[in-house]
Chain A
Amino acid sequence: MNWLGWLTTFFTAPARQSGPDAIAHRIAEHLVFCGEALLWAVVLAVPLGVLIGYTGRGAFVVTALTGAARALPTLGLVTLAVLLAGVGDTAVLVPLVALAAPPLLVAAAEGVRGTDPVVRDAALGIGLTHRQVLARVCLPAAAPVLLAGLRTATVQTIATATVAAYVGLGGLGRYVVDGLATKDYPATVGGALLVVLLAVAAQLLFAPLIRRASPPQARLTRRTRTRRTKEPR
């Protein structure tokens, strides 16, 4: 019950200060998994989403993929990946990418689709090519939505990357899984807390980015509002 004691035990144990089980090392492992997974997810989902959003075609792909991905049990996917690819980074990356890609796909498609049609029409009409319209009009308009999607994907990936430990790989999941296996509750609680802190930190890190990417209207009138009621569009 004395969880404060547990945390003290966890954070002060010599094994947490250096060596493979050190906190810094585990966090680094965790972040590498997340970073790799997010990179793949961005590469796969964003171009597809942008294309779907710009052309207005293939919206069903978004619906189908996101629906299917949401139904996938992550642990099941890890197991499957291990069976197919053996124990290794791939086994962890597959489920993490599957988790991170759908919100990115939706954000890219919706963000680009949400560009003011009048502005798009004017841009084409004064002589921008489709590529230029996409790069100079649609992407800036989509940026806040896209970043919000990336934030969702990041937070979910950080929280879920603990599964790496199930297949014997590193990351913060080690503390949780090993702690449970050896009834080392300080490790379980400490590991869980670190995952939460990391996720919250990522969440906070995105706030200024999203604000910077917001349209000038939202950015410049922000201070006059007492409270933001919804995500900037």
Chain B
Amino acid sequence: MITFEGAAKRHPDGTVAVEGLDLDGPAGRITVLVGPSGCGKTTLLRMVNRMVEPTSGRVLLNGEDVASLPAARLRRGIGYVIQQAGLFPHRRVLDNVATVPRLLGQDRRTARARAAELLELVGLPPETARRYPFQLSGGQQQRVGVARALAADPPVLLMDEPFSAVDPVVRAGLQEELLRLQSELNKTVLFVTHDIEEAVRLGDQVVVLREHGRIAQCADPHTLLTAPANNDVAAFLGRDRGLRGLGLRPASTVGLLPTGTELHGWRLAVDANGRPEGWERGGERRPAPVFAPAADSLRSALDAAVLSPAGAAVAVDGTGRATGLATRAAVLAALGPSVEEPAAERPATEPTAGEPAGGR
């Protein structure tokens, strides 16, 4: 667990970076610090590995003051990922990743073997190992940065805007990868970003910061989106809060109709393996948007339902087999009473497909 106790940073010239913050980052969870530039989020993160020393207050790791260890030793036990990766340009990728194990006294062969495992873990092909950093794309460099941070298997990971410098598509991939890694590794992660979308997507706990490191709100992403503490936080969260909140809720609660149900004359065509091929009406065939109740969010389900000519999304299992149909009404019903307003605004032309037929 990472604990900030009144941690403050005042510069010698009198300016205040962080006024004094109290915060707990629970063990095994991702805590995201998010806020506009200049809110002190990077300063706070760098207090944890003593790249910044607080001028008052302290930072504890599992109850132990970080100042009680020599800085270099402390840092070898904390993974550190930064925006531009910061790889050593004159060393091959493998040796970049092996850096910390080598510092910790592992012999070259062991450290390199470990580094190779990590490259695989972060999804890089083995031939990457022999490349130099400049030969990789930004996204690949960032993966190497993550591998390097994980190499000594530290319990704590500090990530300072790690995905800000790559394009949105690559960023989404890296975020997904981080969540996958985290589900395997359960690190205590402190993640800094200015991107609220990223914060909500990755955080188990999201801390919205105002200037001087003051906490505007600290909550789980769903609470944050549905119940922002004040207008400033709401404004920072941006438009479509309600819809984006759906992205955090599982689609497994949506009631499904049997796949053979006819809707507005449309009928689902499936292939020999039961995979959806499209919606058919008369001689017409249109694509059938799908969602996976086990993996996707309510937002994906709603999106697929909105795009469907029949007004229903096709639920599929892990193998792509159609398991049922989710009408728009069924998706909206799954929202429950807590988010009634968007449901009330829907057009009255919704298909009357009857009661959802249960199932998942």
Contact = CB atoms under 8 A, between A and B. Distances in A.
Interface of A: 116, 118-119, 121-129, 132, 136-137, 140-141, 215-217, 220
Interface residues of B, number: 26
Contacts of B88: 119, 123, 136-137
Contacts, number: 66
11 contacts: A116-B86, A119-B88, A119-B89, A124-B75, A125-B49, A125-B82, A125-B86, A126-B103, A127-B74, A140-B90, A215-B134
Interface of B: 49, 51, 72-77, 80, 82, 84-90, 99-100, 103, 132, 134-135, 145, 148-149
Contacts of A136: 88
A125 to B, nearest CB: 4
B162 to A, nearest CB: 12
A197 to B, nearest CB: 34
A122 B72 contact: no
A121 B50 CA distance: 12
A127 B132 CA distance: 21
A71 B77 CA distance: 53
A125 B74 CA distance: 10
Nearest to B49: A125
Given A124-B51, A126-B80, A215 B72 contact: no
A124 B50 CA distance: 10
A126 B90 contact: no
A215 B90 contact: yes
A123 B86 contact: yes
Given A116-B89, A119-B89, A140-B90, A125 B103 contact: no
B148 A141 contact: no
A220 B99 CA distance: 23
A122 B75 contact: no
Given A216-B90, A216-B132, A217-B132, A121 B72 contact: no
Contact of B51 (A119, A121, A140): A121
B112 to A, nearest CB: 16
B132 A126 contact: no
A126 B80 CA distance: 6
A141 B72 contact: no
Contacts of B82: 118, 121-122, 125
A136 B76 CA distance: 16
Contacts of B49: 125
Contact of B80 (A118, A125, A129, A141): A125
